[in-house]
Amino acid sequence: MLIVPEREIANLMTRDAAFDAVEGVFAAMASKDAYNFPVIREAIGHEEALYGFKGGFDKAGMALGLKAGGYWPNNLEKHGAINHQSTVFLFDPDTGMARAMVGGNLLTALRTAAASSVSIKHLARPDAKVMGMVGAGHQATFQLRAALEQRAFEKVIGWNYHPEMLPNIEKIANEAGVPFEAVDLEGMVEADVVISITSTFAPTIMADHVAPGTHIACMGTDTKGKQEVEATLLAKSTVFTDEVAQSISIGEAQHAVGSGLIAESDVHELGAVINGTHAGRTSDDEITLFDGTGVGLQDLAVAARVVALAVESGVAIEVDF
Ligand code: NAD
């Protein structure tokens, strides 16, 4: 069995490799070559922690396994460790034997950023110039860095509930050589592409904050009750997602479907656009919305890639098991 420790991931994994892995697994999901197992997430009654498993099997990529982990809110204060903790376990699909254990913290950020980037590649207008960010926390920096590689963006505009965090994303824009401007939410109408990545339970982005022709990737809503955008925005948009079952239960579409504004059949797999079985964007005025809920197969895809890279560069630790 191989171990790829968290400390090695930054040296091994590239944004390009994460992008290819996630694009490939979304395509496999849409062609029914890969499926996610039901998600388990439990409040364990200790340290206020939320712990769970996201797993699946990708027959196309031959990746079988799960990501185990969750959120320990006291980690930083008590242990000087980050609050989100996860580890990916891969198994041999032919034998069921454990194949690898991989640090999952950085991989989670890279695979989540890759998901919105894949949506931008396939759904945003080719002439998109203004990138809008709603959110400026840990994930937002990865999201923006990856998104800026998808189009020839000339400006980044940003809004955050906690304005003192905006320098986090301003720094990323500046590193990419793109000017940054803080705006109010009404100012988001200038954006051609918007990414929202916040932990809010009440919508902050209203339907009239998003102009016709925009592509918006909603990446923060991954739990029942969370909501980043007004539900009527989904009714005005063509809605895509990583996985329909998650989108309508724990994703942004839970609210629009729950209140009858859209039907489950109005939510389409991004993988179908990648495979060419859904046309994707069909006009310059259309709003496309990607509901990125985060699936276990994304984790397995990037972990499998990183194991291959670790073996290639001789840093995978082999243990008898
Ligand atoms: P973080 O704590 O670093 O940042 C939180 C962000 O949410 C900040 O921008 C903060 O200002 C904003 N925020 C907090 N309360 C708010 C409110 N009431 N209204 C509006 N904005 C508010 O967290 P993070 O690690 O960047 O994660 C952000 C979100 O992304 C979380 O909800 C997390 O669960 C989710 N997430 C989703 C995926 C996925 O695959 N879709 C993967 C990882 C994380």
What torsion, rounded to 10 degrees, do the Cα atoms 232, 235, 237, 239 define? 110
Q: What is the pLDDT of residues 135-161, one digit of tens each?
A: 999 999 999 999 999 999 999 999 999
What does the block give as tokens for 301? 């895809």
Return the pLDDT at 156.
98
Backbone angles phi, psi at 60, to 5 degrees: -70, -45
Atom of ligand 1 nearest to the CA of 84: 25
Return the pLDDT at 321.
86
Looking at this protein, which amino acid is placed at residue 40? I
Q: Which fold has domain 116-294?
A: Rossmann fold (3.40.50)
Q: How far is the CA of 30 from the centre of ligand 1 (A)?
A: 27
Q: How far is the CA of 276 from the centre of ligand 1 (A)?
A: 32
Residues 6+ apart with CB under 8 A from 79: none
Domain 2-108+297-318 has CATH 1.20.1090.10: no
Q: What stretch(es) of the chain map to CATH 3.30.1780.10?
A: 2-108+297-318
Q: How far is the CA of 139 from the centre of ligand 1 (A)?
A: 7
Q: Known catalytic residues?
A: 67
Q: Is the CB of 168 under 6 A from ligand 1?
A: no
Ligand 1 pocket: which of 67, 172, 195, 199 to mutate (most atoms within 8 A of CB): 199
| 69-84: average pLDDT | 92
Confidence band for 218, pLDDT divided at 50, 70 and 90: very high
Q: How far is the CA of 212 from the centre of ligand 1 (A)?
A: 26
273: pLDDT strictly greater than 90: yes
Q: Is the CB of 291 under 6 A from ligand 1?
A: no
Confidence band for 210, pLDDT divided at 50, 70 and 90: very high
Nearest-CA residue for atom 19 of ligand 1: 200
Q: Global pTM?
A: 0.97
Q: Is the CB of 222 under 6 A from ligand 1?
A: yes
Rounded Cα distance, 111 and 200, in Å: 21
82: pLDDT strictly greater than 90: no
Crossing angle for the helix pair 138-147 and 167-175, to the nearest 10 degrees: 30
Q: What stretch(es) of the chain map to CATH 3.40.50.720?
A: 116-294
Percent of the chain exceeding pLDDT 90 equals 97
